[in-house]
Chains A and B, each alone.
Chain A
Amino acid sequence: MTQITLTINGETKTIEAPPMKRLLDLIREDLHLTGTKEGCGEGECGSCSVLMNGELVNSCLVPALQANGARICTIEGISTKGRLHPIQQCFLERGGAQCGICTPGMILATHHLLEKYPQPTLLQIQEGLAGNLCRCTGYTRIFDAVQQAILKTQQPTNN
């Protein structure tokens, strides 16, 4: 067991965990934040996406040890005081979420994309979200939600 100290959604926590435990399991089991989902366990589907020091990572591929000292933002850290973030609001209004299992990862990927490119082209959106698989929507409503979110998030925010 190793002591791992990290900042999760702005709060500093210290956890005893096996060093090779997946960050995904640390988040879900030890921190009880179940908004981060497992889809494939091999870094293909992006359902477990979180922001680690501002970078988008597949938490199923990150050993807990590597998260020591890191700033982690999960879907639970995107909204503030129960108020939807504009990206969440746009996913909701534009039909960007169907079954919802890819949605947390997709929203974090969008958040990351808009930090990197505040005014992304459709091609940049398509490429920026290509690591997050959605089986329900065909992505069209997701692109629509992201484009709507661009209008609402002109200023980059920090997680």
Chain B
Amino acid sequence: MPDLLQTVGFSPIRKEGAAKVLGQAKYVDDLSFPGMWFGATVRSSIARGRIVSITFDPAIPWDEFVIVTAADIPGQNTIVHLTHDHRCLASDRVNHPDEPILLLAHPDRAVLPAAVAGVHITYKELPGVFTIEESEAPNAPAIWSPAPADHQHSTQKNTFKTYLMESGDTSNLDHIFATADYIVEGEYRTGAQEQLYIENNGVIAEYSATDGVTVHGSLQCPYYLVHALELVFNLPEEKCRVIQTETGGAFGGKEDFPSVIGSHAALLAMKSGHPVKICYDRAEDMAGTTKRHPSRSRHRTAVSKDGKILAGEIDFALDGGAYATLTPVVLSRGTIHAPGPYHWPALRVRAKAMATNLPPHGAFRGFGAPQSIFATERHMNKIAKVVGLSPEELRRRNLLGIGDHTATGQLITDTVNMQHLLTRALDESSYHAKRAEFARTNPSSPIKRGMGFATFFHGAGFTGSGERRLNSLVHIELTPEGRPQILVSATEFGQGTNTILCQVAAETLHLPYEDVLIAQPDTSHVPNSGPTVASRTAMIVGKLVERASQSLRNTLSPYLPSTSETSTTPYTPAEFRSAALAYLAEHGTLVASARYEAPGDILWDDESYRGAAYPAYAWAVYVAEVAVDTTTYSATCTDFYALQEVGKVLHPVLAKGQIEGGVAQGIGYALYEKCVWQKGHMANNQMTNYIMPTSADLPPIRVAFEEIPSVHGPFGAKGIGELPMDGPAPAILNAIEDATGIAFTEIPLLPEDIFERMTSTPESGSEDLEPTNAGPYFSETTA
């Protein structure tokens, strides 16, 4: 008989859900302030060059407008992320198409597009660099010339960041490769991906000489924007206030970018003396804001004839775009996830992020891991084929288990059993039965069907020492009515932050879920509990909410009835409220806090790139079924099964929703979503021709959980948000290989790519697995 107050593990109604289904939830564009003006951005039309002149069309009444240039910036002309290379507004030169140069504000939104078109900018154009290969070429133009201080440590002129991650007996790599039964090589690529939140980026800014800057906006990380505003306005933190409004999807696309649009609106507000709203339209949002980093992975693996991995070399490269934004951290997560959940006796991963003249790439769910996991999971299938094992058996011989160490040297203490997860996933997806069936039916059918899977893990929380540095703080206060209210900077943008944190507090406080409140994230009121990213909210912030709730309860304990050992409900909600009111009557206020405390056994060394990369990992096996139509050359995912071990599932409906939504984005990443670049400008910056999956495009997505409580999260929860982005693309391409015999190596994989490959000799984007045809990507030695 469940406790009536039990809420963790159940699915109470989403906190802000009623407002959303009623259409009453207020997103930023639904808000209007007295005297509010509207802002617009004038952007570069070229990828790289010097600004020669800026002139204004005399037909436009410019005296009605406020115009902001870099010269109006009171502080530094920089958008701070990890470095200071990213300018708030370009002044003398531009480094990517659609780079902001000038800002306009006017009381009438309708006149702005013509005004933007009425600003004429001439340039002295310089040659641009648009791919990883062009950027790393010895004769490539230096995008940074001279390199700014942030980049001077780079060994290559266009390199943002490099990592070297070594594991095991790397001094002996040459010997291992020289004596291995097989050496398997492969190159894999992933394209840029647009987050495509349905609500575009938008903010409203206010400025006053006494109070400073206030920005209301659609965003994930209020304190990131606070810190960006501090530099742009040269103001102390307490004069930079950020309030998150209801946010219509984010997926990382509102992690770093709001620092740009928020600073812009605030500059216009300061100069105009009015609140200023900037809400991008879809075309501007897609062309001008961040995307997932394109990647290239090169694998070289030494394997024994019985299918044991002996050693590996992985070269992982990202296209960072024109400014660093969060690229070094994306590269880091991609690097650490590149080895996958496998045992590597010796491994060397060389990673680098290159600058190009594309708009800066930034955060997107998965944060580098989907890129490197795609490569590794395709490569595992290649190794299996070369060695003559099934993809399943090859993985079984190399999967990590309890007591093994990851490639960073982290001891696996989770009691997860990947062998069991694999068995269960293949069983419940009817993997073997379907493969047998397709082997019978494919030869006589123009539709070729196949099955594929991916085995992978995803680390929860900030990488390495990140959580120690964040040093997150959470408060719970009592409202004057005696209700507990959670104060965090963790934001809700659909994933369920409000709901799960209230569940954790309610369960800890023995109160009904409905009795717990969560405050709107407003940096004048909520502490910095860190950014809402990195699959950290449930595990890290949730744990702090649990501890703060315990602290609140302890403080109130003298006012509560004495607890009976046998009772599961130590007090009634009414008794809690009486105690709260009695406490408030005596003391005025009550705020309980909890600050992050790093687990003693979670240690990381940034220098050697070794240690416990994450407090905990979520483990998964995803299985895809595909159909490739050899008449239309379209590939469709026809069934999808997702099994994961994520610790305790706090809210089954929300958790399944996270997995299903992530899988859908992963299917889009694999088969539909292609950014078409023309000299660095996104040419298909419309929903009409950037194709995300509709309700008619997706297969049934069947979600299953294994729940092994983790010590790191509240009630045993681990992170979940990014995991489902990692598995679909490799599972689908593995299935397409099963269906067609063609080993495609690049995503997105569109019908034209399949057509190209099926109607011609092997070209880029695929490779032939016949050893005699395979050329340089395949070599075999017998020791």
Contact = CB atoms under 8 A, between A and B. Distances in A.
Given A98-B494, A99-B493, A100-B494, A126 B197 contact: no
A139 B698 CA distance: 8
Determine the main DSSP class of B at the interface with A: loop
A101 B11 CA distance: 21
A143 to B, nearest CB: 7
Determine the main DSSP class of A at the interface with B: loop
Contacts, number: 167
Interface stretch (B26-34, B338-346, B555-563, B577-585): B26-34
Contacts of B30: 28, 34
B673 to A, nearest CB: 11
Interface in A77-106: 78-79, 84, 88-89, 91-95, 97-104
A95 B656 contact: yes
Interface of A: 28, 33-42, 44-45, 47, 74-76, 78-79, 84, 88-89, 91-95, 97-104, 107, 125-127, 129-143
What are the 10 closest A-B residue pairs judged by CB atoms, nearest first? A35-B23, A101-B248, A99-B494, A100-B20, A138-B664, A75-B23, A98-B494, A138-B660, A34-B30, A44-B687
B653 interface: yes
Contacts of A98: 249, 494-496, 657, 661
A132 B661 CA distance: 15
B437 interface: no
Contacts of A107: 21
A85 B657 CA distance: 22
B23 A104 contact: yes
Interface in B649-668: 653-654, 656-657, 660-665
B14 A92 contact: yes
Contacts of A42: 282, 686-688
Q: Which of B16, B247, B654, B664 has the most CB of A within 10 A?
A: B664
A91 B20 CA distance: 10
Interface residues of B, number: 56
A39 B13 CA distance: 26
Nearest to A100: B20
Given A99-B199, A133-B694, A84 B249 contact: no
Contact of A45 (B22, B198, B281, B653): B198
A40 B249 CA distance: 14
Interface string B277-291: 000011000000000
A47 B199 CA distance: 9
Contacts of B662: 138
A33 to B, nearest CB: 8
Contact of B198 (A34, A94, A102): A102
B683 interface: no
Contact of B249 (A44, A91, A99, A140): A99
B494 A132 contact: no
Q: Which of B20, B195, B664, B695 has the most CB of A within 10 A?
A: B695
A91 B21 contact: yes
6 contacts: A36-B23, A94-B653, A99-B247, A100-B19, A127-B696, A138-B657
B664 A74 contact: no
Nearest to B660: A138
Nearest to A109: B695
A28 B692 CA distance: 27
A135 B249 contact: yes
B696 A101 contact: no
B27 A84 contact: no
A90 to B, nearest CB: 9
A54 B156 CA distance: 62
A134 B662 CA distance: 12
Given A136-B494, A141-B657, A39 B20 contact: no
A18 B663 CA distance: 44
